[in-house]
């Protein structure tokens, strides 16, 4: 099935999967004036001062009431990774195609909540295979995003890739649940195959252990450090530390 201009099939999966597209005639819309994700990655990596990624981290910090920028950066990255996986994998299993999610095509409102945070400026269909998904999400977004967050906030690489694996596993679980509820064995099968192929990628293969749709990661996203937070269901920890020093790249939380 070809991608339709509004990616309308994603709406049935829930708001987190939805991806807004910009009408070709709406050159003056507010969304078209938003920065592209590529701008956020480049500005944050260069540490040029105020930029969309810093704004997103500050927004997450405010919503979660945390004064630790590193914690907010981790959770902001995990949320964006989940959005990207949801849109890409959702399209792959429902359409058999994925839109080109080049960071230069995705407009980003760093203050907005789902699904108004991301807008796709142009629909360019790509094959819906695992290699394309890896190129689109892992290499197109999560690698430059990780580099930017390491440069600006000192977040450990293992933590960020653990977030990416956790976000992918959660996306696959939601797609599997939807498929079962709607009698879509074909969607469930495609989800299993694509997810398995993606977790075989070197960037994700060491992020955790999978058993069916369950996932146990080898790192911690630091959510337990948020006021009122705790451990996520896939955390490597069995109990939140009473106090924890800043993690290093070789630490368990990294």
Q: Does any domain span residue 2?
A: no
Q: Does any domain span residue 1?
A: no
Contacts of 173 by beta carbon, 8 Å cutoff, 6+ apart: 213
Distance CA 29, CA 43 (A): 24
The string of pLDDT tens digits covering residues 98-107 is 999 999 999 9
Q: Does any domain span residue 188?
A: yes
Q: Does any domain span residue 47?
A: yes
Confidence band (pLDDT; 50, 70, 90) for 253?
very low
Identify the pLDDT of residue 49. Answer: 60
Q: Does any domain span residue 71?
A: yes
Domain carrying residue 98: 8-225
pTM listed for this prediction: 0.90
Q: Does any domain span residue 112?
A: yes
How many CB atoms are closer than 10 A to CB 113? 11
Distance CA 158, CA 155 (A): 9
The 10 Å CB-count burial string (b at 16+, else e) for 8-35 is ebbeebeebbbbbbbeeeeeeeebeebb
Flag the least confident range among 44-48, 58-62, 63-67, 139-143: 44-48
Q: Does any domain span residue 220?
A: yes
Number of domains in the chain: 1
Q: Does any domain span residue 238?
A: no
Torsion of CA 14, 195, 235, 145, to 10 degrees: -80
The string of pLDDT tens digits covering residues 79-132 is 999 999 999 999 999 999 999 999 999 999 999 999 889 999 999 999 999 999
């Amino acid at each position: 099935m070809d991608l339709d201009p509004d990616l309308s099939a994603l709406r049935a999966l829930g708001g987190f999967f939805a991806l807004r597209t910009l009408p070709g005639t709406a050159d003056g819309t507010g969304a078209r004036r938003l920065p592209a994700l590529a701008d956020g990655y480049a500005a944050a990596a260069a540490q040029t001062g105020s930029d969309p990624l810093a704004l997103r981290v500050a927004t997450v910090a405010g919503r979660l009431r945390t004064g630790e920028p590193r914690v907010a950066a981790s959770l902001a990255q995990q949320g964006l990774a989940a959005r990207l996986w949801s849109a890409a994998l959702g399209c792959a299993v429902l359409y058999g195609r994925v839109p080109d999610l080049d960071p230069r095509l995705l407009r980003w409102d760093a203050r907005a909540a789902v699904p108004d945070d991301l807008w796709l400026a142009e629909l360019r269909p790509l094959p819906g295979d695992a290699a394309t998904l890896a190129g689109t999400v892992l290499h197109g977004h999560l690698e430059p995003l990780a580099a930017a967050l390491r440069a600006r906030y000192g977040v450990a690489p293992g933590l960020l890739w653990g977030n990416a694996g956790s976000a992918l596993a959660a996306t696959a679980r939601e797609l599997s649940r939807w498929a079962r509820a709607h009698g879509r064995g074909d969607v469930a099968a495609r989800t299993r195959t694509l997810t398995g192929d993606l977790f075989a990628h070197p960037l994700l293969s060491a992020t955790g252990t999978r058993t069916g749709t369950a996932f146990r990661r080898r790192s911690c996203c630091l959510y337990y450090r948020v006021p009122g937070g705790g451990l996520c269901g896939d955390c490597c920890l069995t109990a939140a530390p009473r106090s924890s020093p800043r993690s290093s790249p070789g630490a368990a939380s990294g």
